[in-house]
Amino acid sequence: MICDNCSHKCDIKEGMTGSCRARSFRGDRIVCDNYGKVTSLALDPIEKKPLAMFHPGSLILSVGSYGCNMRCPWCQNDSISRGPVECDSLTPDELINIAVDTKSRGNIGIAYTYNEPSVGFEYVLDCARLAKDNDLVNVAVTNGMLSRSRFDELAGYMDAYNIDLKTGKADKYARIGGDLDLILDNIGSAKEHGSHVELTTLVVPGFNDDERDFSTIVSAVAGIDRRIPLHITRFFPAGNMKDASPTDLQILYRFREMALSSLDNVFLGNV
């Protein structure tokens, strides 16, 4: 059966999972295997998402599961992105109750993050609906690879996004399992739905740390809306790139100056 959750459209055999390792074909239907499976839960400053211009100074309950529909060699959350791991279980009602109970500590809502939340679309959607019923905001920290129809369905409940924009070159995106056109389309869709949108580019040595590549990112963002905040963040060894060096700080400073020539809001991260 074909899974239509993202642009991969995995053709999954009975009892097997798709490339995200979180969705399978069982009982004549595609099943969200990571539904309610929680690997990470924390009350974080919203700036860690990172969101710099959405309720700054507030806290948000961050929740993550397992699985991802991309394969970035430098993944910062490699231990949970690659597939099933030991998890706790939380129903949507239980998660919302925790979020409501932490309002007194400054919590404003729920951030779906850590792994790629879109591979658990059904759980995120159910939680997001309940969150809105309880006056909580919803934030998605995502690679933007959800199919357009599902992205639009979820966008009705999302107050804010931080979307990864790893490169402005389609061929480079394809090498790591990404679809640049879909991601840019979804960024535009989020803006059309009235959601707050910020973008993050992790500058990875040997992948996107040259000026020509970065200029394509800046052009893509400016083409959508020059006011969209762009976070330029420093890579540290992780995933299958544990032997690599951190991003040269001078590159980040230079990229920030380049971005400010076309964008209004540019931030450096991990420096």
Domain ranges for the chain: 23-269
Q: Which fold has domain 23-269?
A: TIM Barrel (3.20.20)
Higher pLDDT: 169 or 85? It is: 169
Two tokens at 66? Answer: 């397992």
Q: Give the separation between CA 270 and CA 146, rounded to whole angstroms.
A: 27
Say if residues 125 and 27 touch (Cβ distance below 8 Å): no
> What's the chain's average pLDDT?
97
What pLDDT was estimated at residue 87?
Answer: 93
Mean pLDDT of the 88-116 span: 98
Q: Confidence band (pLDDT; 50, 70, 90) for 83?
A: confident
Q: Give the separation between CA 212 and CA 94, rounded to whole angstroms.
A: 47
pLDDT tens-digit series, residues 138-166: 999 999 999 999 999 999 999 999 999 99
Please check the confidence at residue 39 and state whether its pLDDT lies above 90: yes
Sheet holding 40-45, edge to edge: 40-45, 59-64, 107-112, 137-142, 160-164, 196-203, 230-234, 266-269
pLDDT tens-digit series, residues 209-261: 999 999 999 999 999 999 999 999 999 999 999 999 999 999 999 999 999 99
Two tokens at 129? Answer: 């609906």
CB-based burial, 141-168: b 16+ in 10 Å, e otherwise? bbbbbbbeebbeebbebbbbbbbbbbbb
